[in-house]
Amino acid sequence: MTLPGGLTRRDVLMKLGILFNGIIAAILAVPIVRYLLSPVARERKGGYESWVPLGSLDQFPSGQTRLATYRNPVANPTDGDTADIPCWVRNVDGQTYQVFAINCAHLGCPVRWFQQSSLFMCPCHGGVYYQDGSRASGPPERGLFEYHYRIENGKLLIRAGEMPTPGHASNIVREIRPCV
Amino acid sequence: MRLIESIGEWLDARLQLGTSIRETMEHPVPRETASWFYVFGSAAFIVFILQIVTGIMLALIYVPSAGEAWSSLQILNHNVSLGWYIRALHGWGSNFMVAIVLIHMVQVFLFGAYKYPRELTWIVGVFLLIVTLGMAFTGQVLRFDQDAYWGLGIGASIASRVPVLGPWIVNLMLGGPIIAGATLSRFFALHVFVIPGLLIAFVAVHLLMVLKLGINEWPMPGRVVRKATYIKDYHELTRKDGVPFVPGAIWKDMFFAAFILLSIAVCAAYFGPFGPSGPPDPTIIQTSPRPDFFFLWLYAVLSFLPPSMETPALLIGPVVAILGLLLLPFLFGEGEKSWRRRPIAVLTILLVAVALGTFTHLAQHTPWSPVMDAWSGEPIPHEFLHNRSALERQGALVFQVKQCHNCHSLGDEGGKRGPALDKVAVRLTQDQLIRQVIQGGGNMPAYGKNLSPAQTTALVAFLETLHPAGQSPARNASRALALEPDTAAPSSHQ
């Protein structure tokens, strides 16, 4: 049987078959794409961040900079040690604090504090920061990432949950201008 | 013997593959291509097979969970008999595979094999290089140790610099907000399913085209590729002066592949497996992450790029490089194949090789990294302290305590980030030394806030002693005049 326009019945059925498969593929693609994008979609819904306690204030004596660790607020049972995140806490004068991310603002390596020279140094590419987190030398384009903090019942809390990276710093941490 | 023959006949009556296999094996190839220069492609393929086999072996034990991967590597290394050897074979196989793929690519480039009609073979080859490097990087992540953890951090930091989409790319890459369980799981899926699937598909297409289009003939100076005549000329060449691939050419492939496999086996037995280094616990910050061998050059480039150029170079550089490789056969699809008539091609290879080699060499010494424990672990050599005053020795103490040694070397000990200070007094006067210490600059932090005046005085007194015995330190001529009243300058201009 030939339809007007030279189409046979078989041609039409084959095209319908392709169309059906296309529709089903599009329907199935929705949950698959949604599943793949879940790490991103999660962020839009309220983000990964929350207030995390770093411990009591007496762990951070005045004028000192100490390493603190916290369990990331978003963590799964399979994460093991990787969800234990370190950070540097600086007690400026007993009243004000600064909490710096461990990640160098260059490429994320762990910076180390040197109390004697009051510098943070990065072992990877040699980024160096002053005690207030501002850039001292090396490849970083900016100072260390800094968490927002607050004090509650003698405890220090920071707003954390996501690894700070150079492209994603402004949302979660205060920018520090290099003091030159 | 008769039994095998009759089984073979029974199978071929159903599969009907015998004829095409025989034709493939006996297809004529140009006589000169039965050469030791034409063995790298097949060797890469054989190493890939080794990687598949050893990879499956490792997957029998390995646990792709952030909490357990590192311990499962320890079990492979220590508790499973010859588990360490399978790990070593896979690790060395990976290094050999990247190396052979690169050598193969250089050979193909220098022999002009990417020219008409083999453009697509080259393009698929470029994809094969990319997925091979992808396998190397994802494999390094599966060795879930400190280097893998911080390597992922570096990858995320680079990805985050993509304009607008950066933060989302980071979340997609890590599978969440931080490097954790989901990150390892998705790199496992990439390394074990996605990229090997692509690799197998690309290899199949690549090989198919080598068979359909014929292996590139040995390039002769003056034998120019022209689209109108090439295919006819090639068939004439194989007809007149061809040898059957089997056994005319394949024995060299076999010898070389066996030699490579033997080399991998020997390296694996002698040097053993790679790592794992410390456990992937981010709270252990006493670590100096290093990438694997084939990414060391990138590590060096990242520390030498000026900050303002880093993001553009990281994001645009790879795109330009890959586009350049993909466009190569279209821009230079005809003309001379012989390297003797293509000086720019030869120079390009030399330039790239020297650059990559230099960067890799530098990255093995990391002169840009501070030596994090030099201040406490590497004492000042005694010749710099001998016959010094109390003040100068106090200055040497300041030099150690304030971590100057982490970036500055004395007698070749300590960091190379800043200049060596063995002869600094010849270069800088006392005033210049004080200024440099207090204000920093030239990529040195300012120490003004961290040094008391007494410490600065002592430190500069020590630095002033750092000059060769026969050479006097730099001094400010005008200051000397001002301080010595009997040779006072004429006061006419005052």
In order, the DSSP letters of A82-96 are GGEEEEEEEESSSS-
Q: How much is the average pLDDT of B262-274?
A: 97
Give the range of the structural domain holding residue A62, as residue numbers without chain letter: 50-174
Q: Please, what is the average pLDDT of chain B?
A: 90
**How many distinct structural domains can be found in chain A?**
2
Per-residue pLDDT at B490? 52
Residues A78 and A114 in one domain: yes
Report pLDDT digits (tens) over B374-390: 888 888 888 888 888 99
Ranges of each domain in chain B: 21-365, 374-484
Domain contains A93? yes
Residues A164 and A104: their CA atoms lie apart, in Å, by: 9
Report the Cα B237 to chain-centroid distance in Å: 40
* A67 contacts in chain B (CB < 8 Å): 283, 285
- CB A106 within 8 Å of CB A153: no
Residues A58 and A115 in one domain: yes
CA separation, residue B125 to residues B109, B129, B130 (Å)? 11, 6, 9
Residues A106 and A161 in one domain: yes
Which has the closest alpha carbon to B270: B30, B85, B14?
B85
DSSP assignment string, B108-130:
HHHTTTTSTT-HHHHHHHHHHHH
Which has the closest alpha carbon to B113: B30, B232, B49, B21?
B30
Per-residue pLDDT at A3? 63
The whole-angstrom distance between B380's CA and the closest CA on chain A is 18
Residues A24 and A91 in one domain: no
- 3-class state of residue B161 by DSSP: coil
Please indicate whether, in this complex, the C-beta atoms of B68 and A75 are within 8 angstroms of each other. Answer: no
Q: How much is the average pLDDT of B395-416?
A: 88
Residues A27 and A110 in one domain: no
Neighbours of B173 (CB within 10 A): 19
More confident site: A41 or B172 = B172
Which pLDDT band holds residue B43 (cuts at 50, 70, 90)? very high
Q: For chain A, which ranges sit under pLDDT 50?
A: 170-172, 175-180
Residues A104 and A20 in one domain: no
The DSSP call for residue B279 is -
- CB A100 within 8 Å of CB A160: no
More confident site: A4 or B415 = B415
Residue B455 tokens, joined: 């410490």
* B73 contacts in chain A (CB < 8 Å): none
- 3-class state of residue A132 by DSSP: coil
Residues A16 and A71 in one domain: no
Q: Which of A43, A137, A139 sits opposite B303 (nearest CB)?
A: A139
* B450 contacts in chain A (CB < 8 Å): 117-119
Q: End-to-end CA distance of chain B: give it in Å, rounded.
A: 114
Most confidently predicted of A20-34, B407-421, B432-446: A20-34
Residues B410 and B463: their CA atoms lie apart, in Å, by: 11
Helix (H) or strand (E) holding B26: helix B18-26
Q: How much is the average pLDDT of B230-244?
A: 91
Write down the H helix ranges in B190-306. 195-213, 230-241, 245-248, 250-271, 296-304
CA separation, residue B270 to residues B85, B264, B291 (Å)? 10, 10, 22
Residues B15 and B12: their CA atoms lie apart, in Å, by: 5
Residues A32 and A54 in one domain: no
Query: Is A57 touching B (CB cutoff 8 A)?
Result: no
Q: Tell me the whole-structure pTM to 2 decimals.
A: 0.89
- CB B50 within 8 Å of CB B89: yes
Residues A19 and A77 in one domain: no
Per-residue pLDDT at B291? 86
Residues A27 and A77 in one domain: no
Query: Is B182 touching A (CB cutoff 8 A)?
Result: yes
Residue B52 tokens, joined: 């598949």
Note the CATH number of domain B21-365: 1.20.810.10
Query: Which residues 205-244 in chain B show a CB within 8 A of chain A?
Result: none
The whole-angstrom distance between A63's CA and the closest CA on chain B is 13
Residues A27 and A84 in one domain: no
Residues B381 and B379: their CA atoms lie apart, in Å, by: 6
Give the best residue of A67, A81, A111, A115 to mutate against chain B (max B CB count within 10 A). Answer: A81
Domain contains A4? no
Residues A145 and A69 in one domain: yes
Architecture of the B374-484 domain: Orthogonal Bundle (1.10)
Report pLDDT digits (tens) over B455-494: 999 999 999 888 888 888 888 877 767 776 655 445 544 4
Per-residue pLDDT at A166? 82
Give the up-direction half-sphere exposure of residue A143: CA atoms within 13 A in the CB hemisphere.
19
Domain contains A164? yes
List beta partners, residue A110: A103
